[in-house]
Structure 1
Amino acid sequence: MDEENKVVADPRETFGKGAARKIRAAGKIPAVLYGHGTDPQHLTLPGHQVGLLIRKANAVLDLQIAGKSQIALVKDVQKDPVHQVIEHIDLIVIRRGEKVQVEVPVHLEGESYPGTIADLDAKTLLLEVEATRIPENIVVSIEGLEDGSQIHATEVELPAGATLVSDPETLVVLVHVPQKVDLGEEAAEAAAEEAAEAEAPVAEEAAAESAE
């Protein structure tokens, strides 16, 4: 484990929305650590440090709780939808050498054949990996791939020590020539309809005035 992943976690005794607000106001994050049959532990984490660490998917933290080390996988991060402030983190107890199943982001590298585009159909793949060696992403090369090329999960080169859990036939990448859509006639028809709708009320008003 990297030194930067060492996080001093304080046990907390206060609960509820009010207590959580006070924790966040102090620049910290409320969290719960659970797993392996242990009782859930309610913790307080340093906000800035943890906020940087969890930018990476499947972050693993080396929690320092009352002087003891406990490795934990970030399982869920709850954020305020408007302000994007981290409201709560769920952590899972893991042990060195243990294998876990995690969704790992797929990253495309290179450029497909000129005139084509590459659609990333599967943004993540489910892998089984050692808990302390979770890859940041899976790199898939699309360099020079031509129209109609497909890459399925079984063809993706996985990081060392990783095993594919996702369906091997999962479509990961599809390379194709984008369809050309002629919007000329459609746009002209839409403009004509809008103009007709705009003129209708004017004609009605004129008819009403002449009737008076």
Structure 2
Amino acid sequence: MSKVNNEIAVQDRKEFGKCASRRSRKSGMIPAVIYSKGKEAKAIMVDADAWKVLAGHHVQMVTLVDGANKTAALVKEVQFNHLKNYVQHIDFLEVDLNADVTALVPVHAHGDCLGVSRGGILEFELHEIEVVCHPDHLPEFIAAEVTSLDVGDSLHVKDLAMPEGVRTDLDPEAVVAHVVRPKEEAEAPAEAAAEPEAIKEKKPEAEAKK
């Protein structure tokens, strides 16, 4: 559960553009922006090594520390360069610690699925769900208990055990995951059609009645 104590040092960003961003990343900093309701967005830079540590724990809430100033923020978007394996940019959203926040939280399967042991395939329809809670209660993930799911069974939003102080406004009947049968092997090709009857050869005119 988030206690908004994932502190990470940041500093103001004074240079902009692709070249400036490239220089920032080469120096070990990640360009970022803090968005705040009713305020202008603030451009900052985040230490890449410090961010890597936090990202490894899949944090949703962080405390951005700029000298004596601390800002509680929600990680809204992380732009990642998959080809070169580095973070390009991060968007943060400042939050009011006295008000609820709305955030997307990943759904993780929990338990050994019965249906899978019987040859079924566990498929997730929702890999993350939107939750509403106080910043202190924002979970890193929502556990989906799949142990008792048999082939043909489904797990719905209403079946999720939400952590204390956390709710979702999604349709309770929405399917989170289900266990399906594996695709059956293609049917054997139809038997070759019966050979057509042999066409009787027409007797040559030379074999007319003798």
Would you call these one fold, judging by a TM-score over 0.5? yes
Aligned equivalents of 1:177, 1:44: Cα separation in 2: 49
Equivalent residue for 2:131, pick from 127, 130, 134? 127
Q: Does 1:175 align with 2:179?
A: yes
The aligned amino acid for 1:28 is: M
Q: Does 1:156 align with 2:160?
A: yes
**Bigger Rg, structure 1 or 2:** 2
User: How does the TM-score come out when normalised to structure 1?
Assistant: 0.79
Quick one: percent identity of the two aligned structures?
A: 26
Could you list the runs of 5+ residues in structure 1 that have no partner in the other structure?
187-212
Aligned residue in 1 for 2:140: 136
- Size of the alignment, in residue pairs? 185
Deviation at 1:91, TM superposition (A): 0.7
Aligned equivalents of 2:139, 2:7: Cα separation in 1: 18
Aligned residue in 2 for 1:9: 10
* 1:137-171 C-alpha deviation (Å, 9 max, x unpaired): 11111113222211111221111111112222211
* 1:52-110 C-alpha deviation (Å, 9 max, x unpaired): 21344452111111311111111111122411211111111112132111111111122
More displaced stretch, 139-148 vs 99-108 = 139-148
The aligned amino acid for 1:145 is: L
Identify which of structures 1 and 2 has the higher relative contact order when contacts are C-alpha pairs closer than 8 Å and 6+ apart: 2
Aligned residue in 1 for 2:36: 35
The aligned amino acid for 1:85 is: Y
Aligned equivalents of 2:173, 2:77: Cα separation in 1: 28
More displaced stretch, 38-47 vs 169-178 = 169-178
Aligned equivalents of 1:181, 1:97: Cα separation in 2: 57
User: How does the TM-score come out when normalised to structure 2?
Assistant: 0.80
**Pairing of 1:31-180 with structure 2 (within 5 A):** 31-57=32-58, 59-110=60-111, 111-113=113-115, 114-180=118-184
Aligned equivalents of 1:51, 1:132: Cα separation in 2: 22
Aligned equivalents of 1:71, 1:29: Cα separation in 2: 18
Residues 181 and 46 from structure 1, CA distance in 2 versus in 1: closer, same or farther, beyond 3 angstroms? same
Aligned equivalents of 1:98, 1:2: Cα separation in 2: 14
Runs of 4+ in 1 over 6 A off after TM superposition: none
The aligned amino acid for 1:112 is: L
Aligned equivalents of 1:62, 1:133: Cα separation in 2: 15
Aligned equivalents of 1:2, 1:61: Cα separation in 2: 6
Could you list the runs of 5+ residues in structure 2 that have no partner in the other structure?
191-210
Whether the 8 Å contact between 2:105 and 2:140 is mirrored in structure 1 is yes
Whether the 8 Å contact between 1:122 and 1:173 is mirrored in structure 2 is yes
Aligned equivalents of 1:104, 1:179: Cα separation in 2: 31
